[in-house]
Amino acid sequence: MSTEPSNQILGPAIFLAQFLGDEPPFDSLDTICRWAASLGYRGVQIPSVDPRCIDLRTAAESQAYCDELKGRCVEAGVEISELSTHLQGQLVAVHPACDELFDDFAPPKLRGKPRERTVWAIDQLHLAAKASQRLGLKAHATFSGALLWPFMYPWPQRPAGLVEEGFAELARRWRPILDAFDDAGVDLCFEIHPGEDLHDGASFERFLEAVDHHPRAHILYDPSHLLLQQLDYLDFIDRYHERIRMFHVKDAEFSPNGRSGVYGGYQDWLERPGRFRSLGDGQVDFKGIFSKLTQYGFDGWAVLEWECCLKDARQGAAEGASFIADHLIQRSQRAFDDFAGVTASRTRNRKILGLADEN
């Protein structure tokens, strides 16, 4: 396991979801872990929906299986940073307008059956809580799903109480899941992401209020999604650092013009004013981000999530490990001016302040 101080960011790690495929070395957990280690990654974030990586139900039920899974990763040169249920979490709450689009996230036998699909998704989250506990993990990544996203822009005018009802239902579905993660001793981290009802700080606050500030409701911080919404992603850390328990290191750029802006004009990723980029190719101030997270004592993993419409995935992954490593900060264990320190006592301090001796 990692030996860094508890108040230091861990890394680099890599989210495997965008790299898994049918060709070696991306077609099995053992080979993709060896590939990641060869690039300099020390951790892997595993998508729990992919059977090439993990059998989630078995992981929830068998400590022996989890020990073997961890051992295989360590033997390949990495450790498991977190599990992810992004696709399953999305299915916890789906507006009917999006049923057809999200059906492919579920097993084939559940497609066209939204109620059964939701039951399956919730069960998956419960399994993920137990599997994370057995693997010795402290945080888990997911999406919130969305009942309100079709009504994100207030036209036509929303009827009074619609937003409140949407968040009440979202909280009703997620509260038992949060309790399961609390029982497992694992933080549940919602990626703040467009397309989710939890897509910015204000919507996260609404959810937090609806679940009575549940101690396991936390944030997966990904600055790329904040930049594309034109949020102040550094101020976001100042506001929500106590709830930030996971970190996706992903770059983005926003270059609006006279034709389109934040909404993108239905253009594909290559032509959109806002688009994701490989690390270092976009506009995100990662020096500022790593500094603020270090300042607030964030001790989770810095995990590359590669999404770029220009650069090949292998090149992005190869460059990403060193990029993250170069931004990791070894937190200072002493003040820079300790060499000029002076002796201190209450008597001396009162003397310096010009205060009379109390005796």
Residue-wise over 291-311: b if at least 16 C-beta within 10 A, else e?
A: ebbbeeebbbbbbbbbbbeee
With respect to residue 5, please indicate whether it lies within any of the assigned structural domains.
Answer: no
With respect to residue 225, please indicate whether it lies within any of the assigned structural domains.
Answer: yes
The pLDDT value recorded for residue 355 is 93
The pLDDT value recorded for residue 3 is 43
The pLDDT value recorded for residue 139 is 98
With respect to residue 357, please indicate whether it lies within any of the assigned structural domains.
Answer: no
In angstroms and rounded to an integer, the radius of gyration of the C-alpha atoms of the chain is 23
The pLDDT value recorded for residue 7 is 75
pLDDT along the chain (359 residues), means of 10: 64 97 97 98 98 98 98 98 98 97 96 97 98 98 98 96 98 98 98 98 98 98 98 98 98 98 97 98 98 97 97 97 97 76 89 81
Please give the Cα distance from 308 to 311 (Å, whole number): 6
Domain housing 107: 10-352
CA proximity to 93, closest of 153, 165, 161:
165
DSSP 157: P
With respect to residue 253, please indicate whether it lies within any of the assigned structural domains.
Answer: yes
Please give the Cα distance from 48 to 50 (Å, whole number): 6
DSSP 146: B
With respect to residue 358, please indicate whether it lies within any of the assigned structural domains.
Answer: no
The pLDDT value recorded for residue 359 is 59
The pLDDT value recorded for residue 217 is 99
Please give the Cα distance from 256 to 253 (Å, whole number): 10
> Per the structure block, which two tokens stand in for 98?
């999006």
How many distinct structural domains can be found in the chain? 1
CA proximity to 142, closest of 180, 108, 113, 98:
180
The CATH number assigned to the domain holding 310 equals 3.20.20.150
The pLDDT value recorded for residue 339 is 74
The pLDDT value recorded for residue 6 is 59
Give Cβ neighbours of residue 300 (< 8 Å, ≥ 6 apart).
9, 10, 138, 139, 245, 246, 247
With respect to residue 2, please indicate whether it lies within any of the assigned structural domains.
Answer: no
With respect to residue 3, please indicate whether it lies within any of the assigned structural domains.
Answer: no
Chain-centroid distance, C-alpha 217: 12
Q: Are 197 and 163 in contact (CB under 8 A)?
A: no
The pLDDT value recorded for residue 154 is 95
With respect to residue 334, please indicate whether it lies within any of the assigned structural domains.
Answer: yes
